[in-house]
Every structure is written in C-alpha cells, then in structure tokens.
Amino acid sequence: MKLDAADLRRLEEARELLERPGLAARLSDLLGGPIERTVDLLPPSLRKRLGIITHHALQRSVDAAARTLEPGRRQASPRLHKLLGSVSGGAGGALGIAGLSIEIPLSTVLIMRSILDVARAEGEDPGSTETRLAALEVFALGGDSPRDDAAESGYYAVRAVLARAVSEASRYVAQRGVAQEGAPAMVRLIAMVATRYKIQLTQKAAGMLVPGVGAAAGAAINLLFMDHYQTMSRGHFAIRALERRYGAEAVRHAYRSHRRRPDSPFVVDEAA
C-alpha cells in the first residue's frame, strides 16, 4: 500500500526530526567547543559508574513514568517536561559530577515520561507493553558520535538492531503478564539501549567538567537533552502511527525511497 500525499509529508517531517544533528554536535555548540575532547578526559572509573547508573535508571524509568500518565489520547505537554528537566539539570549542575548518581535517574524518568506523553498524543496507550518497549527504543535513537558506525546509527538501522530484543521482551510479557526487571529478555533489551544512551550521558558528564559550568549550564544541558528526546519521540511515534495504517514494510520503503527537493516536496528515488 502506498502512502497518500498527506502521509508522505508527515513521513518526511518525521524523518527530518529523526535525522537532525545529534546531541554531540548540539552540546559542542552549547559549550563552545568539541565535546569529544572533554569526553576523552573522563576517568575510567567514572565511565564505569555511568554505565551502572544508566542501566539502573532505564530499568526503573518506564514504570515510574507510566504510573503518572492517565490513558486516553490527549495533546502532549513538551513545555512542562522541559521545565521539569531544566530544574533537574540545574540542581545537578550545582552539584557537578558528584550529583550525577541522583540527577541521571531523575532526568531519565522525566525524559521517559515525556516520551510516553508523545506516544499517548499519537494514540498509543502508555500503559501497554508495546508502547513501553517502543519508548525504550527512543533512548537508543540519535546516539551518533564520531565513534559510531554510520551504518548502525540510522533510524531503521537502530530499530533493526533492537528488533529481536524487543520481540523477545514482548513475548515474555505476553506469556508472563509482567515485565520483570531481572527477566533475561528485559535485561538484554535494556542493556542494548543503555549502551547507546550511555553515549549521551557520557557527553553530559563531560559537559559538567567544562570550566564555569554550574547550575545555569546544567539546566541548559538538560533542556537540550529533553528537546532531543522529545524530537526523537515525535518522529518515532509518528512513524509507528503510519505503520499501523500502512504496514511496517510500506513505511520503511517510503522512508528510504522518498527525498525532498527544493522545487518539489517529494520525489521517489527509484534506485533506493
């Protein structure tokens, strides 16, 4: 089934959201220099601790966030979540690196809540297993850095990498009726997502090491983080809505084969 013109426009808008510059580039602009240089200065012990914090934060974020959202389609509230994220980042910035073990779990719950809020606006149930697993996928999107393989950083490439883990987790929940944190299927999925989410949090920690960074800069960094994941979730759940209408394969093909030209909104690239 081919997408109609209105939905092709919607798909193109979603693709532009998903392919906008990643957090590394935006953090570099915010802090006035390449963030990767500061990342290289992080001690191994801190990198290891960030990995542990990241994993635990993702484990607990889904249920904690979903419990605060009522079912039923309604407009998303991005400004509220940006405000809450900025407050969290301001507190974390005042504490510096020492505050990351407190600030990261809190900001991860807020980001997850914002992601589920966007999903609900697209007609999904934030309490359903499928929506929650799709929300976890968002944390793996846009994790580009100079160390990333470009073949593994595109939107559909990331979804393909996660597909088996998502399917296994979904089957486990369907059979057991509960998403236990220690279940092998959930552990595998969260570990895969955490690997990419950690890239962003490592850059965030590096930002905290930049001279002069304090509460104000911490708030600005968290605002950027929240905006990034809201953008990824808007693109992701718009595409999922199109997939429910046309089928996943039709949307994936259209995503890869349609491109924008200045003189024409959409053309089909027959070679794609």
Q: Which of 205, 206, 191 is nearest to 55 (CA)?
A: 191
Does the pLDDT value for residue 214 go beyond 60?
Answer: no
Percent of the chain with pLDDT over 70: 78
Is the pTM higher than 0.85? The answer reads no
How many CA atoms lie within 13 Å of 118's alpha carbon, on the beta-carbon side? 27
Give every CB contact of residue 6 below 8 A, 6+ residues apart in sequence.
Answer: none
At 81 the pLDDT is: 85
What distance in Å separates the CA atoms of residue 138 and residue 59, rounded to the nearest whole number? 14
Q: What is the mean pLDDT of residues 165-193?
A: 79
Cα separation, 71 vs 123, in Å, equals 10
Range among 7-11, 86-90, 104-108 with highest mean pLDDT value: 7-11
Domain ranges of the chain: 23-246
For residues 160-173, average pLDDT: 89
Could you report the per-residue pLDDT of 58-100, keeping only the tens digit for each? 988 988 888 888 888 888 888 888 888 777 766 665 566 667 7
Residue partners of 75: CB distance under 8 A and separation at least 6: 121
109-147 pLDDT, tens digit per residue, is 999 999 999 999 999 999 898 999 999 999 999 755 444
Q: Give the per-residue pLDDT at 42.
A: 80
pLDDT tens sequence across 251-271: 999 998 865 544 434 444 433
Give the H or E element holding residue 190.
Answer: helix 184-209
Q: Is the dihedral of CA 117, 118, 124, 129 positive or negative?
A: negative
Segment 184-201 shows an average pLDDT of: 88
